């Protein structure tokens, strides 16, 4: 039996991408795992301490609070932007004229830098010269006295509102693109059978975009636990740690408290949570037929 000839050309083409991924993703990830076992200030010599960082994490109340905030954030983002994006995508897909105008208008917030958008919305929510002054002139005293970023009970949701403003347009464009790929003959067949608009949506549109729904769910779950920019820019985890999430807590430990080893251990925990959530979502999606649609 002749030995199969190995063709090296395809591997040479992927070698640059593989080398970049190895240098920028794989090796730093392994380094994070290794450094989680050390006590290190980020500058001097590292001291091996085994699992002590993880033992401290288990007893750290701020970690539990940050994870709960991430879960709250996740619950907001797997409901509000997905529902809003899907509903608007359905409406826009029915338009014969001006569809591109709506798509562009709704997508614009997604291309704005988080730093710029965060600073702008922080100014809008300032009680001295933001929306509150407009509410005061309209006589809406309750809203005029609301501290959007200063009230621990609503600060996290205020930041989530801004991030949702930035995020949902992207979701809408994804759903709109998926809806346009659904075979129009399926809608015609449904109408012939007497289906109304809601039945078309339930039995044609949703089954037709199941892979996109699965993709959006996975990305939303991952990014909800990796979110950082808007929280850091608008509240920096405050007030009174009311918006502290895992990413901001990791940043503070690494660059404010100079506890790089502890921050690396937190990164490992964060990664583990994301992996668990991914597999939970995958099992639920497969049982519900989302990924096999």
pLDDT the model gives residue 165: 95
pLDDT the model gives residue 239: 93
pLDDT the model gives residue 284: 76
Structural domain includes residue 1: no
Structural domain includes residue 8: no
Judged against a pLDDT cut of 80, whether residue 135 lies above it is answered with yes
- Give me the numbers of helices (H) and strands (E) for the chain, helices first please: 17, 2
Copy the structure tokens of residue 133. 């002054």
| Cβ-contact 212, 174 below 8 angstroms | yes
Report which of residues 221 and 125 the model is more confident about: 125
Which tens digits make up the pLDDT trace of 57-99? Answer: 999 999 999 999 999 999 999 999 999 999 999 999 888 888 8
User: Quick one: which of 238, 224, 217, 232 has its CA closest to 286?
Assistant: 217
| Cβ-contact 265, 246 below 8 angstroms | no
Q: What share of the chain is helix, strand, coil (3-state, %, to 5)?
A: 70, 0, 30
Judged against a pLDDT cut of 70, whether residue 3 lies above it is answered with no
Report which of residues 198 and 244 the model is more confident about: 244
What's the rounded mean pLDDT across residues 172-177?
Answer: 92
Structural domain includes residue 41: no
Structural domain includes residue 125: yes
Judged against a pLDDT cut of 60, whether residue 227 lies above it is answered with yes
pLDDT the model gives residue 201: 86
Judged against a pLDDT cut of 90, whether residue 53 lies above it is answered with yes
Query: Can you give the CATH number for the domain in which 220 is found?
Result: 1.10.3720.10
Report which of residues 158 and 184 the model is more confident about: 158
Structural domain includes residue 275: yes
pLDDT the model gives residue 9: 84
The confidence band for 192, taking pLDDT boundaries of 50, 70 and 90, is confident
Sequence-ordered list of residues with C-beta below 8 angstroms from that of 37, at least 6 positions apart, any chain: 48, 49, 50, 51, 53, 261
Structural domain includes residue 50: no
What separation in angstroms does the CA of 96 have from each of 92, 100, 102, 186?
A: 9, 10, 12, 19
Using N-to-C axis directions, what is the helix angle for 61-77 and 80-93, rounded to 10°?
20
**Beta strand spans in 30-155 (E):** 38-39, 47-48
Judged against a pLDDT cut of 60, whether residue 157 lies above it is answered with yes
Share of the chain above pLDDT 90, in %: 64
Sequence-ordered list of residues with C-beta below 8 angstroms from that of 229, at least 6 positions apart, any chain: 114, 115, 118
Structural domain includes residue 42: no
Structural domain includes residue 48: no
What's the rounded mean pLDDT across residues 168-196?
Answer: 89
Domain of residue 187 covers 60-287
pLDDT the model gives residue 5: 65
The confidence band for 32, taking pLDDT boundaries of 50, 70 and 90, is very high
Q: How many domains does the chain have?
A: 1
What's the rounded mean pLDDT across residues 233-246?
Answer: 95
What's the rounded mean pLDDT across residues 121-136?
Answer: 93
Mean pLDDT of the chain: 90
∠ Cα 249 250 253 (to 5°):
85
Beta bridge partners of 47: 39
What's the rounded mean pLDDT across residues 38-59?
Answer: 94
The confidence band for 270, taking pLDDT boundaries of 50, 70 and 90, is very high
Q: State the Cα–Cα distance between residues 150 and 125, nearest whole angstrom.
A: 10
Predicted model pTM: 0.88
């Amino acid at each position: 039996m002749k030995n199969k000839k190995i063709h090296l050309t395809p591997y040479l083409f992927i070698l640059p991408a593989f080398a970049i991924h190895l240098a920028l993703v794989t090796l730093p990830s392994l380094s994070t795992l290794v450094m989680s076992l050390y006590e290190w200030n980020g500058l001097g010599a590292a001291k091996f301490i085994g699992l002590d960082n993880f033992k401290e994490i288990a007893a750290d109340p701020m970690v539990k609070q940050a994870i709960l905030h991430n879960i709250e954030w996740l619950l907001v983002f797997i409901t509000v932007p997905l529902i809003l994006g899907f509903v608007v995508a359905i409406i826009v897909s029915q338009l014969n004229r001006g569809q591109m105008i709506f798509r562009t208008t709704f997508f614009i917030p997604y291309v704005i830098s988080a730093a710029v958008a965060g600073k702008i919305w922080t100014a809008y929510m300032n009680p001295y010269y933001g929306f509150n002054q407009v509410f005061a002139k309209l006589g809406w005293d309750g809203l005029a006295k609301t501290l959007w970023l200063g009230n621990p009970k609503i600060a996290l949701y205020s930041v989530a509102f801004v991030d949702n403003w930035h995020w949902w347009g992207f979701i809408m464009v994804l759903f709109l693109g998926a809806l346009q790929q659904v075979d129009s003959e399926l809608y015609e067949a449904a109408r012939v059978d007497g289906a109304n608009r809601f039945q078309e949506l339930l039995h044609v549109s949703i089954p037709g975009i199941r892979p996109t729904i699965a993709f959006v769910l996975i990305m939303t779950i991952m990014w909800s636990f990796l979110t950082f920019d808007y929280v850091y820019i608008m509240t920096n985890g405050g007030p009174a740690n009311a918006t502290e999430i895992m990413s901001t807590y990791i940043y503070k430990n690494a660059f404010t408290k100079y506890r790089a080893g502890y921050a690396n251990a937190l990164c490992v925990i964060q990664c583990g949570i994301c992996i668990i959530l991914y597999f939970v979502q995958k099992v639920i999606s497969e049982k519900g037929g989302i990924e096999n649609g």
